[in-house]
Structure 1
Amino acid sequence: MWLSASGQSSSTTLPKVTNKVAIVNFVVCQLFALLAAIWFRTYLRSSKTSSFIRHVVATLLGLYLALFCFGWYALHFLVQSGVSYCIMIIIGVENMHKYCFVFALGYLTVCQITRVYIFDYGQYSADFSGPMMIITQKITSLAYEIHDGKNFEINFLFCMSFCCRRMPSLLEYLSYNCNFMGILAGPLCSYKDYITFIEGRSHHMIQSSENGKEEIQCERTEPSPNIAVIQKLLVCGLSLLFHLTISNTLPVEYNIDEHFQATASWPTKVTYLYVSLLAARPKYYFAWTLADAINNAAGFGFRGYDKNGAARWDLISNLRIQQIEMSTSFKMFLDNWNIQTALWLKRVCYQRATFSPTIQTFILSAIWHGVYPGYYLTFLTGVLMTLAARAMRNNFRHYFIKPPQLKLFYDVGTWIVTQIAISYTVVPFVLLSVKPSFMFYSSWYYCLHIVGLLVLLFLPVKKTQRGKKTHENVQLSQSKKFDGKENSLGQNNFSTTNNVCNQNQEVASRHSSLKQ
């Protein structure tokens, strides 16, 4: 994922001389992690290996990969994790989440400032701040989960699905932050899900007994991730092929080329803007899908069964490509892009913000991503686009629900507008610097900024049904939703498990009656 290029100290086997070599370094390490994941699931499966051994191996392999890729800069991972763990122990549960949040995000920001403004401004390589971004998410997520778990009645809305009722050991903490499956490209996962995987409980059918204690009702054979892994590796191959053959021929920078701006017609400018940003996405598809495949190959990522009894391996998936490319709203695009980061932002910021949650969330996202000015221009523009898109949707969508032909017309129109708005918004994210970003927006006369402001000024603000609900009703609906997930990943997911258990019980009953 971290395709940025710098000259850090790293493995002498694959010296980082150029951007291409840095990418090769990343890919080789991820392929090694994939092989290690297959070995981990085959020879260290939870049924015959203790959790302690699984934690130790996952941590040591992760630290080895970090040292191989980043050299002694990998010590930042241990320093950030170690100090955060000390904060969690020393500071009380009431305030630990605040101190961990400030320290982890502050340490990440200092490292990003050092890398960008001292070492290699504007160079995209496999930089050490990339893994630190994931570790920062994990540190802050766990701190909030423990805080919520210890204040269950107060933080009821946030507790049901992700709360943690005990402090992890140092080994568990390092394993969660630095395991080989996610050290290079993540994705973020909840501590609760990770421990469930390490202890081998992710595929069991859990049911509460009469005394209120959770017990394993039926032990199913661990489902195989092979099909899911192969499918994701195929997506990786296609994404990499697209990136190597097409992406480089459609650079985003060409949008600010003086000759192009002077000679191209507006339809050409709009088309090239969309196509160039479309071509920039496959490298993210490749990195995130490969990271997901590595976790699946190790046995992590199982999310129950669908209605047809097929295993689902999308617990920590970070994107949905089809939904991204077919998005008909700004929200739909954001909900399917970098999913785990979006969930992190929602849990630690959006749901807890006392005012302007959308603005606060975009600001946090910009700070977390880094210190390039282009990031802040993108996320400030994103705030405007999100609020304007929400206002448009709330005011007009209900007029286009029926008949189906009108709905199709609406969907096509909103798809075109969404793709143009997304491309317009993220150009500074790719260009990084202030001058080229303003050159692009100036060439477009800030048209979408102006349209967004006009929409917010003149369209009435209409609250959705969700906004009209009382806090108590929100808590009730959330508790029902979370109870479903807490109870063995949902009854629908485990319908197949129930059938198997019932069949097993019936066979056992017949066998005992025959013996009598």
Structure 2
Amino acid sequence: MDWPSLLSVHPVAGFQLAAFPFAALYRTLCSFGCLSVNARYVFLLVGGVILSFAAMGPYALLVLTPAFISAFLLPEAQPESVHKWAFLCQMSWQTLCHLWMHYSSPTHQDIQSSRLSISVSSLMLLTQRVTSLALDIHDGKLKRALGSREHGGPHEHPRNVLPLCSYLIFFPALLGGPLCSFATFEKQIRGSISPLASSPVKIFIPVAIRVLGLQGLRVFVQEWVSGQPDFATCSQIDCVCTMWSTALLFKLSYYSHWLLDESLIRTAGFGFQLGHEDTSFDRELSDMDIWTLETTNRMSVFTRTWNRSTSQWLKRLIFQHSPAQPFLMTFVFSAWWHGLYPGQIFGFLCWAVMVEADYRIPSYFSSVLKSRHASLLYRVVTWVQTQLLIAYIMVAIEMRSLSAVCLLCISYCSLFPLLNLSMHLWLVSGNR
């Protein structure tokens, strides 16, 4: 076993680990009643500012500036149009930052480019919170935050900015983690945490064991991938093995990060109210279900389960507000949100087509296959096909460049999405 590789972590994960003691301190102070509600806001806000400068250096201003501007301006905007302006402003700023990262540091090898990459990743999460907050204002869900307009007059407005600033850059979710709605954030801040609830140590140790296990598997797969030919030199079945193992490497990295992200938020006390675990937290703030992701034979189920809070955010932001082709527009926007690299555009469009096919193909075979053995065989075959489709899409998205997409398209791997596409077109034509 390569122990240095096993214990090495991504820079973002390193900063997340460094934030654990402060999350535990915050939780301890809250559980013993040492922090008032406003002091909790300040603790999370100051922690977010410090963590942003520690992780991003001067690039922290790319995140903090739109966060503070949004906190001051969103409550003053008209509720009918606030989500449109928030969407356009935030996505325009994020797109400019993506372009800057793409053209200024394409290799991401030095410290400065790594910090820029972290800042852009954090900016993507900020976009989620800003647009979610704007939709809450549009839907009238921020009565507490906007109470100054209804009861106190303009002089009370600065006091109500504090919760919004704290929500937009609170440190447990600054660098990663599931999307937390403002209502859930307020509930956690104003609630109480019993000292008898699970301690931070009991939360962290099981997560550390699981992360080490995933990291060990990742090191093993990485050694396997390093001995395989790349897409420029592989042939036929070798390309399929390269694609699947490379995608597995990406998935294991995502799983490790999501475990750390979720455990950091839990360590800070989110999800624990009055001495027991809040099950609504699991429904809203859990991004990962590894068992479902790795065992499903449906692309649609994988899509809803992968990065679950982001999927719910996309549904609320794009799918429910698109006047035409909401399904396609959701995947197009997802490519835009990720940076509009050629591989991402190709990957997300391919993803959309495969999910659309998934809504037709299973219904057809369920009416044809009657015996239990035939259904079992169908499930096994479709599970393999689904995993290969996921690997194809993930490799395209993660490799990003046009040259990598071209190599993937002309490889043997393209037979699997073409098979699904052909079946989909045949079923569509047959229903006319």
Deviates more, 1:287-296 or 1:230-239: 230-239
Q: Cα offset for 1:229? A: 3.9
Work out which of the residue numbers 118, 132, 148 in structure 2 matches 1:141: 132
CA distance, structure 1, for counterparts of residue 345 and residue 338 of structure 2: 9
Structure 2 counterparts to residues 290-369 of structure 1, below 5 A = 290-302=260-272, 312=279, 314=282, 315-369=284-338
Structure 2 counterparts to residues 437-476 of structure 1, below 5 A = 437-444=405-412, 446-460=414-428
Per-residue Cα deviation, 1:329-351 (whole angstroms, up to 9, x for no partner):
11121222111111110111112
- Taking structure 1 as reference, are residues 354 and 254 closer, same or farther at Cα in structure 2, changes over 3 Å only? farther
> Are 1:282 and 2:268 matched, yes or no?
no
CA distance, structure 1, for counterparts of residue 65 and residue 16 of structure 2: 23
Q: Cα offset for 1:357? A: 1.4
1:233 counterpart residue number: 208
CA distance, structure 1, for counterparts of residue 360 and residue 422 of structure 2: 11
Q: Counterpart amino acid of 1:181? A: P
CA distance, structure 2, for counterparts of residue 342 and residue 194 of structure 1: 19
Deviates more, 1:278-287 or 1:119-128: 119-128
Per-residue Cα deviation, 1:404-442 (whole angstroms, up to 9, x for no partner):
444322321221110011111222112110012111111
2:356 counterpart residue number: 387
2:197 counterpart residue number: 223
8 Å contact kept, 1:395–1:462: no
2:166 counterpart residue number: 175
Work out which of the residue numbers 159, 170, 190 in structure 2 matches 1:199: 190
2:225 counterpart residue number: 250
1:63 counterpart residue number: 49
Q: Cα offset for 1:75? A: 1.0
CA distance, structure 1, for counterparts of residue 130 and residue 340 of structure 2: 20
8 Å contact kept, 1:327–1:333: yes
- Taking structure 1 as reference, are residues 252 and 131 closer, same or farther at Cα in structure 2, changes over 3 Å only? farther
Paired residues, number: 406
Q: Counterpart amino acid of 2:266? A: N
Per-residue Cα deviation, 1:50-95 (whole angstroms, up to 9, x for no partner):
1100110111111111101111110121211123234424431110
Quick check: which has more Rg, 1 or 2? 1
Q: Cα offset for 1:289? A: 0.7
TM-score between both structures, scaled by the size of structure 2: 0.85
8 Å contact kept, 2:228–2:242: no
Richer in helix (by share): 2
Q: Counterpart amino acid of 2:167? A: Y
1:416 counterpart residue number: 384
CA distance, structure 1, for counterparts of residue 31 and residue 406 of structure 2: 53
8 Å contact kept, 1:252–1:273: no
CA distance, structure 2, for counterparts of residue 43 and residue 136 of structure 1: 30
CA distance, structure 2, for counterparts of residue 304 and residue 462 of structure 1: 58
Q: Cα offset for 1:381? A: 0.8
Q: Counterpart amino acid of 1:180? A: F
Secondary structure at 1:292's aligned position in 2?
helix
Secondary structure at 1:42's aligned position in 2?
helix
8 Å contact kept, 2:271–2:278: no
Q: Cα offset for 1:282? A: 1.3
CA distance, structure 2, for counterparts of residue 445 and residue 316 of structure 1: 35
Secondary structure at 2:92's aligned position in 1?
helix
Q: Cα offset for 1:354? A: 2.3
Per-residue Cα deviation, 1:490-513 (whole angstroms, up to 9, x for no partner):
xxxxxxxxxxxxxxxxxxxxxxxx
- Taking structure 1 as reference, are residues 181 and 53 closer, same or farther at Cα in structure 2, changes over 3 Å only? same
Q: Counterpart amino acid of 2:69? A: V
CA distance, structure 2, for counterparts of residue 252 and residue 35 of structure 1: 39
1 or 2 for the larger relative contact order (CA 8 Å, sep ≥6)?
Answer: 2
1:164 counterpart residue number: 142
Work out which of the residue numbers 318, 341, 356 in structure 2 matches 1:372: 341
8 Å contact kept, 1:252–1:277: no
CA distance, structure 2, for counterparts of residue 145 and residue 121 of structure 1: 38
Q: Cα offset for 1:255? A: 4.0
Secondary structure at 2:183's aligned position in 1?
helix
Secondary structure at 1:82's aligned position in 2?
helix
- Taking structure 1 as reference, are residues 304 and 186 closer, same or farther at Cα in structure 2, changes over 3 Å only? same
How large is the RMSD of aligned CA atoms in angstroms? Answer: 3.1
CA distance, structure 2, for counterparts of residue 445 and residue 320 of structure 1: 27
Q: Counterpart amino acid of 1:80? A: P
Work out which of the residue numbers 255, 261, 273 in structure 1 matches 2:243: 273
8 Å contact kept, 2:41–2:189: yes
Q: Counterpart amino acid of 2:402? A: V
CA distance, structure 1, for counterparts of residue 31 and residue 197 of structure 2: 12
Q: Counterpart amino acid of 2:319? A: Y
8 Å contact kept, 1:331–1:386: yes
Structure 2 counterparts to residues 8-157 of structure 1, below 5 A = 23=9, 25-45=11-31, 47-121=33-107, 125=114, 127=117, 128-149=119-140
CA distance, structure 2, for counterparts of residue 253 and residue 280 of structure 1: 16
Secondary structure at 1:187's aligned position in 2?
coil
Per-residue Cα deviation, 1:439-484 (whole angstroms, up to 9, x for no partner):
1111238434433443333214999xxxxxxxxxxxxxxxxxxxxx
Q: Cα offset for 1:360? A: 0.5
% identical equivalent positions: 27
Q: 5+ residue gaps in structure 1?
A: 1-18, 150-162, 204-219, 464-516
Secondary structure at 1:351's aligned position in 2?
helix
Deviates more, 1:184-193 or 1:107-116: 184-193
